[in-house]
A and B are shown apart, each in its own frame.
Chain A
């Protein structure tokens, strides 16, 4: 970012519907696998949407997620899953970065900024039922701290001894992107040398499904074919498929990363934020908020729109949003639309709400590392004609020096991040 020190990403961690770590999630994403299944963990018989993208739980082998590897069972009982996912993703990212601050000086220079869109809704539901059925004396002393959104940052800080800025973001589906962008600014501004940043969500539960169904936001036409349900830009799309998980990155100043010889995945060069000022759930029809957001991020990056090689779209597979975002991107890049690739990885992992922006930022960074763009699954019949390559069905090799990731949230809150290959500066 040109208003401060240069900021780079040196560690990645992820828990996604495709796997319990970055390697499994990314390889399955590139292979065109989908994480969507029929929900079997709670009663969906009376819900219009019966499918979701849930984290594959197991013994930790073959890319499965084993919570016991990341948090003691007695601690797991106290918190909602979003905190466990966050702890896992953050611990993975720190290990990946090779950063384990032990001295007081290193600890106070390392902060945490992990958000969640909804937080512990599952636990709030259970607590409410318990309160009604059995009265206040049965409510656990861990009810409040185990549900609070900023306790993801709190747990990560406590477990790893990170004593720098401790912060959290709550901006619905833009949370993960805002968390990474804000954390990058904290490092650029000198409030910390290193930040662990990202988003986590565990809202695949009955209360949340009922609520999103009431908003008419979830896909309902593909209950018999879960893996075909998330289909961004396709004419038959009818809503998003909810996912869960967490993504965390280790962000640090370029000089700090260089001084300790850290591997650098990419540089964070742009971050834009805007508000639609339009509607609580619908994006503004003219796409102005999204357009200005990407433009702001590019201005910060000091780049022309034509410099973008890959856009990881917000692309939720809702009837309204996808075309509005595509329109905004086309308006932004103009004639350069011809050479642009843009895909929605939500087609494979669903919509991770507050974790989406973080997980998708990681996919964008990996596209830069591996020079390959992940596919948009189920894009059989695009609903509009576009010169932009939406990467239907299959991943493809492409030179990716600059990637932009979009996230847009309820309330009309938008975030765009721009990443660049460290050698492309």
Chain B
């Protein structure tokens, strides 16, 4: 796993209270990891904080799986 993937996984585990081994690339935040719409908003905020990046709402809507987040952040991260 990449450095970005590790950091994403840590945030997801912490915010959603799920087992680390469930946080796999194709895991859907809502369908597989039990998040609700407010949880996903908070997750995106946590990614912004961790990676020093601003994720606009239209981009946030495309981040529905762990892999989506990793790919977006690898492309756009500042820290």
Name A's B-contacting residues (CB within 8 A).
Answer: 72-75, 137-138, 140-142, 145
Contacts and interface: CB of A to CB of B under 8 A. Distances in A.
21 contacts: A72-B17, A73-B17, A74-B14, A74-B15, A74-B16, A74-B17, A75-B17, A137-B45, A137-B48, A137-B54, A138-B45, A138-B49, A140-B42, A140-B45, A141-B38, A141-B41, A141-B42, A141-B45, A142-B38, A142-B42, A145-B38
Interface in B11-68: 14-17, 38, 41-42, 45, 48-49, 54
Interface of B: 14-17, 38, 41-42, 45, 48-49, 54
Contacts of A73: 17
- Give me the 4 closest cross-chain CB pairs, A-B, nearest first: A74-B17, A141-B38, A141-B41, A72-B17
A138 to B, nearest CB: 7
A140 B43 CA distance: 10
Nearest to A144: B38
Contacts of A137: 45, 48, 54
A140 B42 CA distance: 6
A124 to B, nearest CB: 18
Contacts of B38: 141-142, 145
- Per DSSP, chain B at the interface is helix
Contacts of B15: 74
Contacts of A142: 38, 42
Nearest to A134: B49
Nearest to B34: A74
Contacts of A72: 17
B1 to A, nearest CB: 22
Contacts of B14: 74
A72 B17 CA distance: 8
A355 to B, nearest CB: 27
B46 to A, nearest CB: 10
Contacts of B17: 72-75
A271 to B, nearest CB: 38
Contacts of A141: 38, 41-42, 45
B50 to A, nearest CB: 13
A250 to B, nearest CB: 29
Contacts of A145: 38
Select the residue from A137, A138, A141, A142 with max chain B CB neighbours within 10 A.
A141
Given A72-B17, A75-B17, A138-B49, 5 more contacts: A74-B14, A137-B45, A137-B54, A141-B41, A142-B42
B22 to A, nearest CB: 14
Nearest to B54: A137
Contacts of B49: 138
Contacts of A140: 42, 45
